[in-house]
Amino acid sequence: MHRLTTTLLATTLLAILLVISAPFATAQQATYPWPTRGWAVSSPEEQGMSSQRLARLVEFGTLNDMDSVLVTRHGRIVLEATYAPFRAGLRHHVYSVTKSVTSTLVGMALGDGLLDSTERRVVDLFADRTIAGLDEAKRAITVRQLLDMTSGLAWHEGLSAALDSILPMVRTRDWPQFILDQPMAEAPGTRFYYNSGNSHLLSAIVGKLTGRSAVDYARERLFGPLGIDDVLWQADPQGISTGGWGLYLQPRDMAKIGYLWLRGGQWDGRQVLPAAWIEGVRQADIDMRESWTGDLRYGRQFWAMPTRDAFMAVGLHGQFIVVMPRLDIVAVATGSQRFVGPDGNVVSTPRIRPQTLVGYLAAAAVSDSAIPADQSATAELAERVKAAALERPSAAGAGAGASGPPALARTVSGKTWRFATNDSQRLKSVTLKLDDPQPSYEFELDGGPPNAAVGRFGGPIGFDGRFAVGGRMPYGPSAARGAWSADGKSFVLESQTLGNDDVARVTHVFGDKTIELSIEWANGFKTTLQGRAED
């Protein structure tokens, strides 16, 4: 009897051990595709996802000003859509997604032994500077508190993305000094407050630890191993990569970074980022203290939903890298503001809640393994993706009409207008070619702070209510469309850099030898400039 009991107990224990170890063994034995040289592509159903439910996500993007959406599962792209006029293969300004990339570089510096601890005091890393108001509270700020947005430094930004502190900072030549000199609003470590200054100090710290800019360190340690080579990262006047924004990546490359996070910092057999760094992100527990954040938490420059095992990098106007380890999903979204409405003068801004995006993704993951193909759902998804790439003409874009441009177009076409020195816009000249078979615009920028774009920019203009794409802007290709007023006396140009979220409407009012430009950006900034025709 004793022997039987012992045998049964041993068998039971063995069975329990097998059950407990099964997921681990499966994970250990699983072979994942590594998209270093390019992503594998699969149907949603082959990866246990519903085409019908992914079609709803694509439609959601159409209604919420997305520029792109991409979903991967089990290491394969199951959905990729771009919304006109944005196009595949273009970089996108990812705004505060940059913060999570900066955090990743801090984690790598820690793994490389360049940073001894995130409890390192920040002032010790800037010992070469004289810092205003250096009291005990400011001396106590740690790298960890910069990462968690709990530094206590006075700042006016928050999750509303106010620019009250950012604008005066960018007007200085020494951003880290501006940030370090801010007074203390409260004791460090006591309260979350969203502060892009914290993120820029982290980038400056990466520079001090590595002896090079964050972007150069990333090219070797992050972008290089992942096969990411189409990168732009803005810098401050001292050449420090902007830690809180300014990174431009293609959506597929954003997904690669998410895939690194999904795999616990491992890439193709190599531990690129300490696994503990990502585990800390998954367990983020800092309350952001906003009514709308709900179960969202913050930590290490990431947003997280621990109850749903999801974490993400989040940027202004709908930039996302979403990682859902339990479901083996990485998803990317990009977005931008638009001018809409009957007259094309109403601003539409992406307002995508992280919880909503996670909800769509979770609903689409109906099984961990393949499910039967659904031809009607596959066709519906394909149609949604196709429709997203087709531009819907603006009603305000038919100003030229079938009869061609107004007489004024022939008078002003080819002329160059020059502008007096203006520090805010740096606009030197404008040239319009409006009666050509292919209308176009060109403008010249001059002066400004270090690293500011200078030179000639512009591109083709669409007169059928659609954007004509091409030419050159400081951060990508131009997309522009134009329309004459009903009386033919003024011309409205709507232009943007694809992927830069900088759409603007410029109303041109022509005099005998003068021009007045009224410029309105979707972000609310407006200005008026006066110019004269070149003799």
Region 133-154: mean pLDDT is 98
The pLDDT mean for the chain works out to: 92
pLDDT in tens, 233-256: 999 999 999 999 999 999 999 999
* 34-89+250-260+290-390 and 395-533 in the same fold: no
Task: Label residue 404 by pLDDT band (50, 70, 90).
Answer: low
Which of 27-41, 275-289, 300-314, 326-340 shows the lowest mean pLDDT across its residues?
27-41
379 pLDDT above the threshold of 50:
yes
8 A C-beta contact, residue 66 and residue 335: yes
Residues in the chain: 535
- In terms of CATH architecture, what is 91-249? 3-Layer(aba) Sandwich (3.40)
Give the Cα separation of 30 and 24 in Å (integer). 10
Residue 318 has which token pair? 């709908």
Measured in whole angstroms, how far is the alpha carbon of residue 367 from the centre of its chain?
A: 30
User: Dihedral (C-alpha) 64, 69, 71, 76: value to the nearest 10 degrees?
Assistant: 170
Task: Label residue 341 by pLDDT band (50, 70, 90).
Answer: confident
The 3-state DSSP class for residue 181 equals coil
Give the Cα separation of 91 and 228 in Å (integer). 12
DSSP 8-state symbol, 228 = -
Q: How many CB atoms lie within 10 A of CB 383?
A: 12
8 A C-beta contact, residue 441 and residue 457: no
pLDDT in tens, 255-287: 999 999 999 999 999 999 999 999 999 999 999
Measured in whole angstroms, how far is the alpha carbon of residue 150 from the centre of its chain?
A: 23
Give the Cα separation of 61 and 480 in Å (integer). 22
Position 421 scores a pLDDT of: 78
> Which residues 6+ apart lie within 8 Å of 119 measured at CB?
142, 143, 144
Give the Cα separation of 293 and 281 in Å (integer). 17
Position 18 scores a pLDDT of: 34
8 A C-beta contact, residue 236 and residue 280: no
Q: How many CB atoms lie within 10 A of CB 529?
A: 18
Report which of 151, 125, 129, 315 is spatially closest to residue 203, judged by C-alpha positions.
125
Q: Domain 34-89+250-260+290-390: what homologous superfamily?
A: DD-peptidase/beta-lactamase superfamily (3.40.710.10)
User: Dihedral (C-alpha) 484, 488, 490, 493: value to the nearest 10 degrees?
Assistant: 10
Boundaries of every domain in the chain: 34-89+250-260+290-390, 91-249, 395-533
Which of 11-20, 115-124, 237-246 shows the lowest mean pLDDT across its residues?
11-20
8 A C-beta contact, residue 273 and residue 104: yes
Region 464-488: mean pLDDT is 94
Give the Cα separation of 331 and 311 in Å (integer). 11
- In terms of CATH architecture, what is 395-533? Beta Barrel (2.40)
Positions of E strands within 255-397: 266-267, 270-271, 286-287, 297-299, 302-305, 310-315, 319-324, 329-335, 338-340, 346-348
Report which of 162, 161, 143, 141 is spatially closest to residue 153, judged by C-alpha positions.
141
Positions of E strands within 272-426: 286-287, 297-299, 302-305, 310-315, 319-324, 329-335, 338-340, 346-348, 416-419
Longest dimension (CA), the chain: 111
Position 327 scores a pLDDT of: 98
The 3-state DSSP class for residue 184 equals strand
DSSP 8-state symbol, 220 = I
pLDDT in tens, 347-360: 999 999 999 999 99
Q: Which residues of 210-242 are buried (b: 16+ CB within 10 A; e: fewer)?
A: beebbbbbbbebbbebbebeebebebbeeebbb
Position 423 scores a pLDDT of: 65
Position 153 scores a pLDDT of: 98
